């Protein structure tokens, strides 16, 4: 499969079907600001520290007209290192590589021998992985099921019937649904910069009796697609070398803006 730089991977499917972003209206009862800040502080205390993570995931991406499958190898290391290798489902060669390191993000397209770079990995994640508004912190939280560390002055909390809570992080533009008073994520909505529309919904699936978790993603922007993401292997706090993130474009690759 030959991948065009502006319509690659997830975007290859999601751009085919048009764009409709539902509006965001938090469910539940808004908790008073003072109580929200205390709940936020408690969640930060309860969350399991994640200094690094390595994930192997198989993705099936579908829309009305198209269907595609890829394998992702994702590694992340605090405070800001991030790498995603994109592979064919049954192959070992790399279709594309996204890496963020020392304030610089880089996308390599091995099919076309091109590369793109930016200071913010979210732009490259949106353009080349089709995930609008998804940062490294959001991606790691979804794959591990653990709420990221929150900036409590930027958080609003909504109490749901049954005890669950919706934690709206206005800085990161994500609304997290967590189980009870824990930092365990049940679902998430990635919002636009104004916090008014939903770019993507993510549901964490834990099959009965199975160790492996899965993610079901509904993508609304830049187009509409559904993604089933099977997390076949998740390793928390592995020892990761800095060299994994020190990537330089090959001399025969062309820069594209």
Query: HEC profile for the chain?
Result: CCCECCECCHHHHHCCCCCCCCECCCCCEECCHHHHHHHHHHHHHHCCCCCEEEEEEEEEEECCCCEEEEEEEEEEECCCEEEEEEEECCCCCCCEEEEEECCEEEEEECCCCEEEEECCHHHHHHHHHCCCCCCHHHHHHHHHCECCCCCHHHEEEEECCCCCEEEEECCCCEEEEECCCCCEEEEEEEECCCCCEEEEEEEEECCCCCCCEEEEEEECCCCCEEEEEEEEEEEECCCCCHHHHCCCCCCCCEECC
Domains of the chain: 10-245 (2.50.20.10)
Q: How confident is the model at residue 132 (pLDDT cuts 50, 70, 90)?
A: confident
For the chain, give the mean pLDDT. 88
14 or 149: which leads in pLDDT: 149
Pairing of strands 114-118, 254-255: parallel
Q: Which pLDDT score is estimated for 63? A: 76
Structure tokens at 155: 């958080």
143 pLDDT more than 60: yes
22-44: average pLDDT: 94
Asked if residue 43 has a cis previous peptide bond (ω within 30° of 0), the answer is no
196 pLDDT more than 80: yes
Q: Which pLDDT score is estimated for 127? A: 83
18 or 242: which leads in pLDDT: 242
Residue 138 main-chain phi, psi, to 5 deg: -65, -45
Q: Which pLDDT score is estimated for 19? A: 60
236-253: average pLDDT: 95
Q: How confident is the model at residue 98 (pLDDT cuts 50, 70, 90)?
A: very high
CA pair distance 230, 243, nearest whole angstrom: 27
Taken as a whole, the chain contains a residue count of 257
Q: Which pLDDT score is estimated for 1? A: 35
Provide the whole-model pTM.
Answer: 0.88
Q: Which pLDDT score is estimated for 242? A: 94
Q: How confident is the model at residue 153 (pLDDT cuts 50, 70, 90)?
A: very high
160 pLDDT more than 80: yes
208 pLDDT more than 80: no
Q: Which pLDDT score is estimated for 89? A: 82
Q: How confident is the model at residue 209 (pLDDT cuts 50, 70, 90)?
A: low
107-126: average pLDDT: 91
102-112: average pLDDT: 91
Tens-digit pLDDT profile for residues 172-185: 999 999 999 999 99
Q: How confident is the model at residue 4 (pLDDT cuts 50, 70, 90)?
A: very low
Q: Which pLDDT score is estimated for 24? A: 96
Tens-digit pLDDT profile for residues 86-95: 998 887 788 8
């Amino acid at each position: 499969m030959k991948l065009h730089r502006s319509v690659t991977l997830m975007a290859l499917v999601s751009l085919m079907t048009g764009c409709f972003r539902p509006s965001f209206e938090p469910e539940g009862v808004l908790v008073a600001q003072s109580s929200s800040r205390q709940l936020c502080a408690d969640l930060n205390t309860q969350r399991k520290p994640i200094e690094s993570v390595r994930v192997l995931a198989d993705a099936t991406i579908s829309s009305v007209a198209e269907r595609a499958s890829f394998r992702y190898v994702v590694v992340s290391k605090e405070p800001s290192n991030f790498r995603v290798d994109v592979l064919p489902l049954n192959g070992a060669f790399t279709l594309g590589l996204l890496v963020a390191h020392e304030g610089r993000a880089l996308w390599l397209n091995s099919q076309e021998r091109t590369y793109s770079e930016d200071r913010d990995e979210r732009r490259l994640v949106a353009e080349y992985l089709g995930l609008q508004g998804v940062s490294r912190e959001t991606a790691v939280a979804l794959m591990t099921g653990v709420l990221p560390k929150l900036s409590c002055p930027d958080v609003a909390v909504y109490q749901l019937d049954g005890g669950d809570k919706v934690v709206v992080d206005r800085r990161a533009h994500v609304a997290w649904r967590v189980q009870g008073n824990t930092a365990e994520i049940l679902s998430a909505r990635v919002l636009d910069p104004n916090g008014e529309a939903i770019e993507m919904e993510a549901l964490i699936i834990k099959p009965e009796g199975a160790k492996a978790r899965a993610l079901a993603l509904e993508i609304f922007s830049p187009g509409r697609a559904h993604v089933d993401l099977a997390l076949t292997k998740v390793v928390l706090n592995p020892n990761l070398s800095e060299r994994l993130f020190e990537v330089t474009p090959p001399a025969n690759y062309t820069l594209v803006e």
